[in-house]
Structure 1
């Protein structure tokens, strides 16, 4: 079977969306566009030129990269395409770069065979439209819409929270956001931020960077307020109090995918202010 592997472009966005749907995933044009603008996407085409696999690598500076969106069409699974795409992503970055990914249960054995190891997990929470909604009549006055002049401070506090500079990704993600808000201290300094992304199935809230669990919950309340559909939040390790809160206000934990790394044994040092990740593809 003759398979051609290419670097994908914006002309392939529709093909990626169709590929995503073939495995039950819900990528849309806006999400794929952000992935492409932030990193590199690679995929196989069959003899007819149809896209049958894809994978993305998103660099954060020179020391960290995230791999995700590894998809193989069901008709072509079991042929090694997922491994080939992942290896091609790895070859596009330095062997000294820390590589992270958030694995599916199906993909975990393949990644382990490629030298990735589990270091922690994330907790995927969803509140469906039939759940009781948490109301907050007095929105915190220190949570305000993000402005262009806030970008430098947002990038800096995100670096402390995530462990590496994500400036390119953040600029692209903010363009995609339904809402982008910041938390300001009493003297006007930005001490937290969050985004909401409206997808075809869920309103995704993340990243969530906050100085405390209390501020994280206020950011969630602000961004979820008046949304009548599903809301999704992916919580990284180390925030049990936030998870208790989410369950109290109608969220249900639906999975706990593993975070895996290669070329190291741990994630970059973080300052414990990352309460919600952006999405699995972005780490």
Structure 2
């Protein structure tokens, strides 16, 4: 068994392993193809007899970092590969003050053994409802808005997520006063940060049927809105190793994906 960085021709089999593990069909581009091609991110694969049987990814946001996409094919389970992949992904982050992840019910015991502690749930919804009419004026995000959007994201998350934010500005939409912004990553996600009034309108206006949206349970307004707009599926647990971040759940209205918050 070999754990190594993914090459270009590993992307498709890696996404196939993740798709099977999470019950979600994943096709490039995804958040994993972004981190795999970035100096701030790593996509790892476990290979056995020339076949990809496990995956793990990590991305750095300044002093913090996230793990995600940690999966093991059924044929390779029961041999400690999940732990080995997690440890390899942590090593790939380098020295970070805080490491975070979103854990499934199945994965949480492993992460607890590695020193992660729960911070709360992210409620996950699959949208199926028609969108309400927008109630405030929206506008496209412009080039001159870059620094303001980055500052808005930092104030909500307590992290410097420049990599992900700047990769998602094309097609991004904001309230007219830039108090909330909906980013547009090139995969199926709807990350929104900002004040509740504007964020509510952005989420209700932009959500599409079948889109999976995860929001912190502490954001009660977002949870209540998504209960009207979609069907709730199994939640994930935000877990942390290291000092807590100064983040504000009520200002987070959608994660970049179910693998990175």
Going from structure 1 to structure 2, the CA distance change for 1:10 and 1:210 (only over 3 Å counts) comes to: same
Q: 1:98 to 1:277 in 2, by over 3 A?
A: same
- Secondary structure of the 1:205 match is coil
In the superposition, relative to structure 1, how do residues 174 and 11 fare at CA in structure 2: closer, same or farther (>3 Å)?
Answer: farther
3-state SS in 2 of match to 1:151: helix
The aligned counterpart of 2:254 is: 276
- Residues 40 and 56 of structure 1 are in contact (CA less than 8 Å); yes or no, is this contact kept in structure 2? yes
CA shift at 1:232, angstroms? 2.3
Q: CA RMSD in A?
A: 2.0
Whether the 8 Å contact between 1:22 and 1:74 is mirrored in structure 2 is: no
- The match for 1:134 is 131
Equivalent residue number for residue 117 of structure 1 = 117
Q: 1:173 to 1:53 in 2, by over 3 A?
A: farther
CA distance, structure 1, for counterparts of residue 148 and residue 194 of structure 2 = 13
How far did residue 241 of structure 1 move? Answer: 2.4
State the partner residue of 1:247.
227
Aligned residue for 2:104, secondary structure, equals coil
Q: Which runs of 5+ in 1 are unaligned?
A: none
CA distance in 2, matches of 1:147, 1:33: 25
2:109 and 2:180 map into 1 onto residues whose CA distance is: 36
TM-score (norm 2): 0.90
The alpha-carbon deviation at position 197 of structure 1 amounts to: 5.3
Provide the residue aligned with 1:258 in structure 2. Answer: 237
The Cα of 1:171 is off from its aligned counterpart by: 1.9
| Aligned residue in 2 for 1:100 | 100
- Mapped to 1, the partners of 2:222 and 2:114 lie a distance apart of 34
Partner residue in 1 for 2:44: 42
Are 1:27 and 2:10 counterparts?
Answer: no
- Is the 1:123–1:256 Cα contact (8 Å) retained in structure 2? yes
Check whether the contact 1:124–1:256 (CA below 8 A) recurs between aligned residues: yes
Aligned counterparts of 2:36 and 2:96: Cα–Cα separation in 1:
23
Larger radius of gyration: 1
Q: Which 5+ residue runs of structure 2 have no aligned equivalent?
A: none
Per the TM alignment, residue 56 of structure 1 is displaced from its structure 2 partner at its CA by: 0.5
* Residue 193 (structure 1) aligned to one of 181, 191, 196: 181
Matches of 1:193 and 1:37, distance apart in 2: 25
Per the alignment, in what secondary structure is the counterpart of residue 280 of structure 1? coil
How many Å separate the matches in 2 of 1:254 and 1:215?
25
Q: TM-score, normalising length from structure 1?
A: 0.83
